[in-house]
Amino acid sequence: MLPRDPLSTAVDRLLRLSASAAAIGLSLGIAGPYFREQWVDRVGTGAQIVLLLDRSSSMNENFSGRYMGGGAQEVKGAVARKILSEFVARREHDLFAMIDFSAAPIYVMPFTQDRPAILAAINAASGRGHGATNIAPGLAMALDFYDGKPFTGSRIVLLVSDGAARIEEETRDKLRQLFRETQATLYWIYLRNPRSGRLSERPVNPGESTTPEYFLHEYFQSLGVPYRAFEAENPEALQRAITEVGQLENLPLHYVEKLPRRDISGSCYAVALVFLALLLGAKSLEVKSWPA
């Protein structure tokens, strides 16, 4: 009885399409769609750094040699974590991995450029240290991070420790071979207190059981790879040592970064919301009854 109205036909089809699109958007959102993970080539200037952090009981001491609860103010472990966090935050283009060790090493974090993740790993090491210092397994695990990876940029093992233990001769030879194969640079931040000997001065009565730090320093010098030791006797000296390490290694770095999968269900819900808003708007304009 009414003539054909192209505008009304278009509006009717638009509303039907909106209803269908809203239903499809809601269904897809509930299904939880996502884009798969991707591998992206990155090129920067920096290094591949393995943080090897001592978590033995001696790290509960302050720089004067006193333990927590015994009047200690600057606990070495807490100061080391704070300075390392600042170091990581400044090194924007480096890849970081992390290992904790005491009597045995603990795998904490693989190589990543995710700053919040590595900072969280450093902060997670805030508990009280325990156990003896056993450096050799930690060094072996740190060098294992470079196994099978292309040689690009600088490779650094950053050892932060206040002491050492005797390393068996067979283990020494294995570590020496691993260092030469990986060509990793070793930096030792030695957190020294007054009761410990200096690395640069030969002890009066040297002994591998009484002055293990000095003998470990001599062993590191025989590895056949670049090695530097930094003695930190207080928080300020530790800060200077970390700053100097940060200025040493800045070579071109090529690596492949894995981007995690990306959830797109939120986009589906947003599309459904747009079409539902259109339907609600049309509903509000609907005439319920004609005026008499």
**pTM beyond cutoff 0.85:** no
Q: What is the pLDDT along the chain (292 residues), one digit of tens a residue?
A: 778 888 888 988 999 999 999 999 999 999 989 888 887 776 666 688 899 998 887 777 776 545 444 444 567 788 888 888 888 888 777 888 999 988 888 899 888 888 888 999 888 877 665 767 788 899 999 999 988 777 766 888 999 887 767 788 888 899 999 999 998 889 888 887 666 667 777 766 666 666 778 888 888 888 888 898 888 777 777 777 777 777 666 666 666 677 788 899 999 999 999 999 999 998 888 877 777 6
Give the tokens for residue 270: 């947003």
**8 A C-beta contact, residue 228 and residue 187:** yes
Burial (CB count <10 Å: 0-12, 13-18, 19+), residue 240: middle
From residue 78, alpha-carbon distances to 53, 114, 121, 124 in Å are 11, 22, 14, 11
From residue 284, alpha-carbon distances to 40, 68, 105, 279, 281 in Å are 49, 69, 67, 9, 5
**8 A C-beta contact, residue 207 and residue 241:** no
Taking the C-alpha atoms of residue 162 and residue 158, their distance in angstroms, rounded to an integer, is 13
**8 A C-beta contact, residue 119 and residue 45:** no
Structural domains for the chain: 38-256 (3.40.50.410)
What is the model's pLDDT at position 177? 92
Taking the C-alpha atoms of residue 145 and residue 141, their distance in angstroms, rounded to an integer, is 7
What is the model's pLDDT at position 272? 94
Strands 227-232 and 185-191: parallel
What is the model's pLDDT at position 70? 41
Helix count and strand count (H, E) for the chain? 8, 9
Please identify which residue in the block is written with the tokens 């690395």. Answer: 199
Phi and psi torsions of 48, nearest 5° = -100, 110
What is the model's pLDDT at position 74? 67
